[in-house]
Amino acid sequence: MKLRVLLRFKDLTSLNRYLGEELNKLLIAKKRLEEEINKGSLVDVIEIKDNNIDIRRERITEIKDILDNINTRIESINSLLEEIKSEFNDNNFTGMVLLEFDNGMPHRVLLSQSLVLKGEVP
């Protein structure tokens, strides 16, 4: 089953800020997982979900799968950020800016036709 979600932003700066924050979180998680992988064959995984804390031990191979998923997300976000920068040269356009997720992965950016350079009067 394929799941698509759209997040709406007021302008490109808001989208870039969101993507930057998500990228920072993923880079921190990646660093911590890599540190744990270097420690031994079993690691403790702490998951916080719905106000519950779940602590379990997992094998390094399972952690490597999680790390692969994080790397894929990092690459996806970096690709989107590079594309936005190359198209808009750090200009801030307002209008309908949508970020599409495909099965939880940032997939593409959708923009309205009536984008306005912030500061200009349409």
Say if residue 75's pLDDT is above 60: yes
Identify the pLDDT of residue 90. Answer: 77
For residues 118 and 92, the answer to whether their CB atoms sit within 8 Å is yes
Rounded CA-CA distance 77/81 in Å is: 6
Instruction: Give pLDDT tens digits for 81-111.
Output: 998 888 888 788 787 888 888 877 888 888 7
| DSSP H or E stretch at residue 104 | none
Q: Model pTM?
A: 0.72
Q: If we measure between CA atoms, which residue out of 18, 22, 24, 44 comes closest to residue 33? A: 44
Say if residue 74's pLDDT is above 90: yes
Instruction: Give pLDDT tens digits for 19-68.
Output: 999 999 999 999 988 887 787 777 777 888 888 888 888 777 777 888 99
Identify the pLDDT of residue 121. Answer: 47
At 83, is the secondary structure helix, strand, or coil? helix
Identify the pLDDT of residue 113. Answer: 66
| Domain spans in the chain, listed from the N-terminal domain onward | 4-117
Across 105-119, average pLDDT: 75
